[in-house]
Chains A and B, each alone.
Chain A
Amino acid sequence: MTLYDKIKTVYPELQESEFYPIGGTIQLQNDSDGNGDYIAKWEHPTLARPTEEQLA
């Protein structure tokens, strides 16, 4: 399951457009360093950034 899928599980109401780099409020990133995807930006106006526990 990707990080995107995990976030959608926590917040099913999130639209994919929220993740789009242009105009979106959430940015995921992968630096290809073996650590996988991470949340580089979370600026959603109403939903709190999910915790590590929620994403586990």
Chain B
Amino acid sequence: MSAVQIQGNASGTGTLTIAAPNTNTNQTLTLPDNTGTLLSTASTFAGTGPAFSTYLSANFSLSFNANTKVTFDTEDFDTNNNFASNRFTPTVAGYYQISVGFGLTAAQTSSLSLIVYIYKNGASVGQAIGTGAASFPGSAVSKLIYFNGSTDYVEAYAYTNVAAGVTIQGGSAFSFFTGAMIRAA
């Protein structure tokens, strides 16, 4: 049988009290089977789940009137090596905040539509539309998405209705595909 040992600290003078709540129900508190420090509601902590950030190092041309998968060639970071072949496939199940944003290289016609997509498992699950002829028009979308930790993946797509010369500006400030685990499954 394993045991629980409570060990004092010879350097300190305070008394640590483990208090029971006001309850009439028997409860069991199971300690984690690893070495570490327990957290309380007063602790500050960050998750350690997978996170990634990628961008285009060079300009990327979009097909006309077709949803085009954007192929990211540069990683800022990929903490769990879950980004490969232009898709993020986290190996830890949970809820992830996924964001995609694109800026174009130049002003466009006033009839421009730039639609930015998050595709999950081959279909759109989130999209945002940018329109107009402003300099460096762009659009971005962000959504909280559940991943099963094995087969679920996301990709970034974009659409434009302008026939020629529509190019996403390269550089991490203009083209990004990022995500991080927010909550475990």
Please report A residues at the B interface, Cβ cutoff 8 Å. Answer: 2-4, 16, 19-22, 27-33, 37, 40
Contact = CB atoms under 8 A, between A and B. Distances in A.
26 contacts: A2-B63, A2-B66, A3-B66, A4-B64, A4-B65, A16-B65, A19-B65, A20-B113, A20-B161, A21-B67, A21-B115, A22-B129, A28-B63, A28-B65, A28-B66, A29-B68, A29-B157, A30-B66, A30-B67, A31-B69, A32-B68, A32-B70, A32-B71, A32-B86, A33-B69, A37-B63
A29 B67 contact: yes
B159 interface: yes
Contacts of B67: 21, 27-30, 40
Given A4-B64, A32-B86, 9 more contacts: A3-B66, A21-B67, A21-B115, A21-B127, A28-B65, A30-B69, A31-B69, A32-B68, A32-B69
Nearest to B115: A21
Contacts of A29: 66-68, 157
A19 B67 CA distance: 10
Interface string B160-181: 0100000000000000000000
Contact of A16 (B86, B129, B161): B161
Contacts of B161: 16, 19-20
B84 to A, nearest CB: 15
Contacts of B113: 20
B112 to A, nearest CB: 12
A9 B52 CA distance: 43
A27 B70 CA distance: 17
Given A16-B161, A21-B159, A2 B64 contact: yes
Contacts of A4: 64-66
A32 B73 CA distance: 13
Contacts of B127: 21
A40 B63 CA distance: 14
B129 to A, nearest CB: 8
